[in-house]
Each structure stands twice: as C-alpha cells, then as structure tokens.
Amino acid sequence: MFRRWAEERIYKKTMQVAVAELRRAARTANALEKLVALEIAERKLRDAAWLRPERVSDEYNAGLQEIERSRLRTLREQAQPAVERLLETAEQGGPAKAIVLEAAAHLLTFLYHYLPEAPEVGALSARFRELGGKQQPYQPIRPLSEVYHRPEPGPK
C-alpha cells in the first residue's frame, strides 16, 4: 500500500515537472534554454509513462511527438542561427571569446545529437573547431527506471 502511494506521488511530481518545463519552453526565446526545457519535459513524460503505463493514451503520445517537432523546429530556426552569430562574435576575438565558444558548444551538442547528418551542422562544427572550441559530448538525462527500482511485492 505504501509503495502504491509513493509511486503515485512520484508520478504526480514527475508530471508537474514536465508541465512546468513545457511552460518554460513556451515562454523563453533563448534557444538553449528552450532545448533544455524540452529535453527535461520529454524525459519526465517518459518517466511518468514508465511509472503508470495504464495512463498512456493517444493524446499522451501526440504530446511526445509535438515535443519532438518543437525541438527540431527550435534547432533549425533558432539554434543554428544562434551558433552562427556566436561564431561570428568569436571570430572577432576579444576577451569574451571563450565564453562565446562555450555557449556555442552547448548548442552544438544538441545540434549534433538530433541533426547528426545535417550538412549545416558539420559546417558549423568545423568553424567551431577552427576557432579553438572543444566539442562537448551529449549527456542524456538518466531515466527514472535506472534510478528507481521497484521493490518486489511482499506477502499480503
């Protein structure tokens, strides 16, 4: 009984975090912040589906697909131009070059992970490396199933 209550509470909190992140993604104009929020929201929705698979519906799956479309749209319409602007700023030099390259690295991480075959991403990455940038590896958010292990049902 306690396990059921605890999992229900985890489910509710997970859904609250997912909704909060979706709202944050809708409010922000910052490409990196939007991508991070969408990433968290998707992971939390998948965690909620793992906790309560009986609550997954067609609308739920449509929501996950909308997150994917929004992510791809953000990558193409906001992240790529932002990286181009950041690289132009870094090419001018100055004391902020390292900070600008770090911001570009974060965006390029998402671009590389979700659009690995896009020629524009390869070109941006080449410019980034020419300027002395160091590419960061993509680190996915760990699923709840890797952290939370359901206890074996005991005697009733």
Residue with tokens 């953000």: 74
How far apart, in whole angstroms, are the C-alpha atoms of residue 30 and residue 25? Answer: 9
Tell me the percentage of the chain whose pLDDT exceeds 70.
94
DSSP 8-state secondary structure symbol assigned to residue 141: P
How far apart, in whole angstroms, are the C-alpha atoms of residue 121 and residue 102? Answer: 16
Q: What is the pLDDT of residues 85-122, one digit of tens each?
A: 999 999 988 888 889 999 999 999 999 999 999 999 99
Q: Do 120 and 103 contact (CB within 8 A), yes or no?
A: no
How far apart, in whole angstroms, are the C-alpha atoms of residue 51 and residue 38? Answer: 20
Q: Do 109 and 125 contact (CB within 8 A), yes or no?
A: no
- What's the confidence (pLDDT) of residue 96? 86
Residue with tokens 């449509």: 62
HSE-CB at 125 with a 13 A cutoff on CA atoms is 18
How far apart, in whole angstroms, are the C-alpha atoms of residue 25 and residue 31? Answer: 9
Residue type, position 59, single letter: E
Record the pTM: 0.88
Phi, psi (5° rounding) for residue 108? -65, -30
Query: How is residue 19 written in tokens?
Result: 């909704």
- What's the confidence (pLDDT) of residue 56? 86
- What's the confidence (pLDDT) of residue 85? 95
Tell me the percentage of the chain whose pLDDT exceeds 90.
69
